[in-house]
Amino acid sequence: MSLNINNLHVKLEDEDKQILKGVTLEVPAGEVHAIMGPNGSGKSTLSYVLSGRDGYEVTEGSATLDGADLLAMEPEERAAAGLFLAFQYPVEIPGVGNMTFLRTALNAQRKARGEEELSSGDFLKLVREKAKTLKIDAEMLKRPVNVGFSGGEKKRNEILQMAMLEPRMCILDETDSGLDVDAMRLVADGVNALRSPERSFLVITHYQRLLDHIRPDVVHIMSNGRIIKTGGPELAIEVEQNGYGDLLAEVG
Amino acid sequence: MADTAVLAAGAKPAAKTGAGDAVLAARLDALDLPVGGFTAAARKDAAARLQAMGLPGARDEYWRYTNPAPFNAPLPEALAYTSRESSLFDGIDRLKLVFVDGVFDAAASDPLTGEGMQIDILSTADAGPAHWAGDLYGKLETSGQTPVKRPFAVLNTLAAQDGVLIRVTGKVARPVHILYRRDGQATDVHVHHVIRLEPGAELTLLETGGIGARSNTVTEVEIGKGARFHHIASKRADDAKLGIGHIFARVGEGALFKSFSLAVNGRVMRNEGVIEIVGDDAVAHIAAAVLGDGNEGAFHHDDTVFIAHAAERCESRQVYKKVLKNGAEGIFQGKILVKPGAQKTDGYQISQGLLLDEGSQFLAKPELEIYADDVKCSHGSTTGALDETALFYLRSRGVPKEQAIVLLVLSFLADALDEIEDERLRDDILTRLDEWLTSRAKG
């Protein structure tokens, strides 16, 4: 599955503020791409616009997933089409059990794709197996969605959802934020276990350290609403050593 | 003819001098008032008290947000109802007592025998001059008139045609289920229940169904030392009705009172909870989950709660959640009164409105009145729309918007539902709510 973003211009719906000013990007099937960039460069906006959050207006350009127009779909349709966004700040939903949530989501997607819904027995088996590799215990599965979870637990829960829903295009929005070294390794291992020739990743991060664990094929540098440089993993190391200053100066 | 009478009475300003008396006279005139046997004195006393206080007017402090006119009118509005029988709690072993238009139906009910309790029917028992319930009938209602007048409860004590009288002496595992059915379209029903839990006793009382086109219920509950009383009421969903319900409870030492009610659509409903905690180390929780759609008939739901702490180290909780749409109105008036000497009181109150559109409104009037210096009392009230971020989160996982809203509504109601201790009963309510919400979301 490949994601194609072409000359994407996005402004805030409620104010006259342009956030993305012509992003062009292609993530072919099976590849892991990273987007790095200073604060306010538009990285998170890109992830929200791709997944269909309200509050943004696309003024120009396109985004397609295997040729299908992402921007014309509702968020749930994008999910059923294989897109997944791991949130920077996963949302707490009191009163809704994590299991109920996962099962509702999984079966909704299956239904949307015309597949059989999973029986409770099969679902339980699947969720236990996936949870185990992410060191998510039964107690965490029973608790309400993300309520009382530590930062690390919330991010692991995001990866569990990803593992259960088996999307083909995963966007990770600063999944490393708020994680200690061990938690980051656990999350990275979870992501790496999901890498496959059919699945692509777009990893948004501030720091190179996550990319030590999730090795990207391509690194993009974003600044002021545009991709200003694209390169291999070495680009991330360059940023880590020299900051964004040199790169920004380079493009003027 | 009935419609004209309703309009005439509804249009009258009850607060004006003289007019109030006429409203009350017309109201009483339209009723067939029982003389009563063991309740005769209580009914007579109620008649005198009602004459003195009159029916409420729109200017009464606790009737500012709910117009009492539909309850003051001599005759009820004819309201169609759905004949579909409620199947809530069908899977649970319970003792069923059926009331049709507010009158006990022995043939449709289970035999009035249960281990650890004595059950009588008010209309039958009231043929005799004496009954254990004579010590309670109208008594808790009367003491609940201070400091706030509750004229419709007095009217009920005066006019009640039927009800159940339960004296619980043991731990009763099998819930008692009062099932209301409607037969007439314009019924004006007064039901009065009296329940006494002897020390150490335990009872779960369930109430479901449509009571009448216009109903007025009073439940008086005396809870003895260390006794436990659980109450779950669910009035038939989508059943157009005018209802005013009262629960008066007196909670003894180390005793537990827990009441949860669910309302789904209806018309105009008012529930008054009056709880007096008189013994040390007692617990009283009262909660409600309300869903109202103004398109199903002008929806107005009012919960007016008064909890008085008159003993030490007691805990009380009020948890009210209302989901409102299409111009529905939700009201909450809740008070915690901590009397002098009620030290170490732990009082908590939360009322929340979830507005699914801009035309609906939730009005809350929380009150705390505290006369002891070593207490913990808190209250909170919020009114808000659906959390857009949570909605997006769910949708981004593939949950369709309508289904995501159902999940968020259930999430909003969770704290109130958690007040149901028995997991089977809670699951029954939750399943029913989920089904109802889901069917609505599709339609």
Contacts of B433 in chain A (CB under 8 A): none
Give B399 to chain A, closest Cα distance, Å.
5
Phi/psi-derived region of residue B163, left when phi > 0, alpha when psi is between -120 and 50, beta in every other case: left
pLDDT value for B17: 45
Show residues of chain B in contact with A79, CB under 8 Å: 395-398
Would residue B410 count as lying in a domain?
Answer: no
Q: Do residues A144 and A95 touch, judged by C-beta distance below 8 A?
A: yes
What per-residue confidence (pLDDT) applies to B19?
62
* Dist CA A193 CA B271 (whole Å): 56
Across chain B, mean pLDDT equals: 93
Tell me, letter by letter, the H, E, C secondary structure of chain A.
CCEEEEEEEEEECCCCCEEEEEEEEEECCCCEEEEECCCCCCHHHHHHHHHCCCCEEEEEEEEEECCEEHHHCCHHHHHHCCEEEECCCCCCEEEEEHHHHHHHHHHHHHHHCCCCCCCHHHHHHHHHHHHHHCCCCHHHHHCEECCCCCHHHHHHHHHHHHHHHCCCEEEEECCCCCCCHHHHHHHHHHHHHHCECCEEEEEEECCCHHHHHCCCCEEEEEECCEEEEEECCHHHHHHHHHCCHHHHHHHC
Q: For residue B1, with 0-12 CB atoms within 10 Å meaning exposed, 13-18 middle and 19 or more buried, which class applies?
A: exposed
Structure tokens that stand for B42 in this block: 């209580």
Find the residue in A nearest to B407 (Cα): A96
Residues of B in contact with A95 (CB under 8 A): 410-415, 417-418
pLDDT at B245 > cutoff 60: yes
Cβ pairs A/B, distance under 8 A: 81
Which stretch of DSSP H or E encloses residue B285? strand B283-293
- Asked if residue A171 lies in contact with residue A50, where contact means CB atoms within 8 angstroms, the answer is yes
CA-based radius of gyration for chain A: 18
A51 vs B394, B396, B407: nearest CB: B396
pLDDT in tens, B7-59: 333 333 344 445 678 999 999 999 999 999 999 999 999 999 999 999 999 88
Q: In 3-state terms, what secondary structure has residue B64? A: coil
- How close B320 gets to chain A, by Cα (Å)? 15
Chain A: give the shortest CA distance to residue B412, in Å: 7
Q: Is residue B61 part of a domain?
A: yes
Give the integer Cα–Cα distance in Å for B306 and B266: 24
B24, containing H or E segment? helix B19-29
- CA-CA distance, B122 to A90, in Å (whole number)? 56
Among B394, B412, B417, B431, which would you mutate to test the A interface (most chain A Cβ atoms within 10 Å of its Cβ)?
A: B394
What pLDDT, on the 0 to 100 scale, is given for residue B342?
98
**Per-residue pLDDT reduced to its tens digit, A126-151:** 999 999 888 888 888 999 999 999 99
Q: B8-23 b/e with 16+ CB inside 10 Å = b?
A: ebeebebeeeeebeeb
Centroid of chain to Cα B337: 20
Task: Please report, rounded to a whole number, the percentage of residues in chain A having pLDDT higher than 70.
Answer: 99
Quick one: pLDDT band at residue A10, thresholds 50, 70, 90?
very high
DSSP state of B312: S
Indicate the DSSP class of residue B419.
T
Q: What is the pLDDT of residue B59?
A: 86
pLDDT at B21: 87
A85:B396 CB<8 A: yes
In-domain check, residue B405: no
Q: In this predicted structure, what is the pLDDT of residue B13?
A: 38
| Per-residue CA distances from A171 to A35, A39, A145, A193 (Å) | 10, 18, 20, 15
Domains of chain A, start order: 3-90+166-251 (3.40.50.300)
Token digits of residue B196? 């006494």
What tokens were used for A211? 């990319």
Check CB contact under 8 Å for B398 and A109.
Answer: yes
Q: In whole angstroms, give the CA distance from residue A16 to residue A14.
A: 7
More confident residue, B442 or B27: B27
Q: Which among B321, B395, B408 is the top mutation candidate for probing chain A, defined by the most A β-carbons within 10 Å of its own β-carbon?
A: B395
> What value does the mean pLDDT take over residues B139-166?
97
Is B416 inside a domain boundary?
Answer: no
A105, B398: Cβ pair inside 8 Å? yes
Range of the domain at B285: 2-386
Instruction: Tell me which residues of chain B, numbers 353 to 392, contact chain A at a CB-CB cutoff of 8 Å.
Output: 387-390, 392
Q: Please tell me if residue B60 touches chain A, with a CB cutoff of 8 Å.
A: no
Give the mean pLDDT of B169-193.
Answer: 95
- Residues contacting A92, CB < 8 A, separation 6+: A144, A145, A146, A147, A149
| Cβ contact, residue pair A87, B399, below 8 Å | no
Mutation choice for B interface testing from A45, A54, A56, A76 by most B CBs within 10 A: A76
The residues of A whose Cβ lies within 8 A of any Cβ of B are 51-54, 74-76, 78-80, 84-85, 87, 90-91, 93-96, 100-101, 104-106, 108-109, 112, 144, 161, 165
Tokens of B156: 């009920």
Domain count, chain B: 1
Question: What's the CA gap between B371 and B136, in Å, rounded?
Answer: 28
pLDDT score of B238: 82
Q: Which of residues 411-440 of B touch A (CB under 8 A)?
A: 411-415, 417-418
Which residue from B137, B140, B166 is spatially nearest to B231, judged by alpha carbons?
B166
Average pLDDT of the segment spanning B277-297: 95
When pLDDT is cut at 50, 70 and 90, the band that residue B83 belongs to is: low
> What is the per-residue pLDDT for B78?
86
CB contacts, 8 Å: A85 with chain B = 396
Average pLDDT over residues A34-60: 96
Contact B401 A101 (CB under 8 A): no
Which of A12, A18, A23 lies closest to A61 in space, CA to CA?
Answer: A23
Q: Is residue B117 part of a domain?
A: yes
Residues on chain B touching A144 (C-beta within 8 angstroms)? 411, 414
Each residue's pLDDT tens digit, B302-351: 999 999 999 999 999 999 999 999 999 999 999 999 999 999 999 999 99
CA distance B105 to B181: 10
CB contact under 8 A, A108 and B395: no
What are the tens digits of pLDDT across the range A172-213?
999 988 888 888 998 999 999 999 999 999 999 988 889 999
Interface predicted TM-score (ipTM) of this complex, two decimals: 0.96
For A85, which residue in chain B has the nearest alpha carbon?
B396
Whether B310 and B277 have beta carbons less than 8 Å apart is answered as: yes
Asked whether the beta carbons of residue A93 and residue B390 sit closer than 8 angstroms, the reply is: yes
Q: According to the model, what pLDDT value does residue A248 have?
A: 82
Q: What confidence tens digit (pLDDT) does each residue in B348-398 have?
A: 999 999 999 999 999 999 999 999 999 999 999 999 999 999 999 999 999
pLDDT score for A177: 86
Contact B398 A52 (CB under 8 A): no
Among A17-31, A73-87, A173-187, the least confident range: A173-187
Beta bridge partners of B324: B292, B355
Q: What is the pLDDT of residue B162?
A: 98
Q: Does residue B427 fall inside a structural domain?
A: no
**Residues in contact with A36: Cβ distance below 8 Å, sequence separation at least 6, in sequence order:** A204, A205, A206, A208, A219, A220, A221, A222, A235, A236, A239
**Which residue of A lies nearest to B414 if distances are taken between CA atoms?**
A95
Q: Strand order in A18-27's β-sheet?
A: A18-27, A3-12, A56-65, A68-69
Q: Check CB contact under 8 Å for B399 and A96.
A: no
Do B177 and B95 touch, CB atoms closer than 8 A?
yes
Does B442 contact chain A (CB < 8 Å)? no
- Does some domain include residue B372? yes
Residues of A in contact with B388 (CB under 8 A): 54
Interchain CB distance below 8 Å, B415 and A95: yes
Rounded to whole angstroms, the Cα distance separating A80 from A167 reads 8
Minimal Cα distance from B413: which residue of A?
A95
**pLDDT given at position A153:** 92
All residues at 6 or more sequence positions from B78 whose CB lies less than 8 Å from its CB, including other chains = B2, B3, B185, B186, B213
Which residues of chain A have a CB within 8 Å of the CB of B390? 91, 93
Return the DSSP state at B370: E
- Residue A251 has a pLDDT of 72
Work out the pLDDT band at A70, boundaries 50, 70, 90.
very high
Q: How far apart are CA B429 and CA B439, in angstroms?
A: 15
- Looking at A2-16, B4-18, B114-128, B162-176, which range is the least confident one? B4-18
Tell me the mean pLDDT in the region B407-427: 96
Chain B residue whose CA is closest to A97: B411
Which pLDDT does position B4 carry in this prediction? 35
Residue B287 lies in a domain: yes
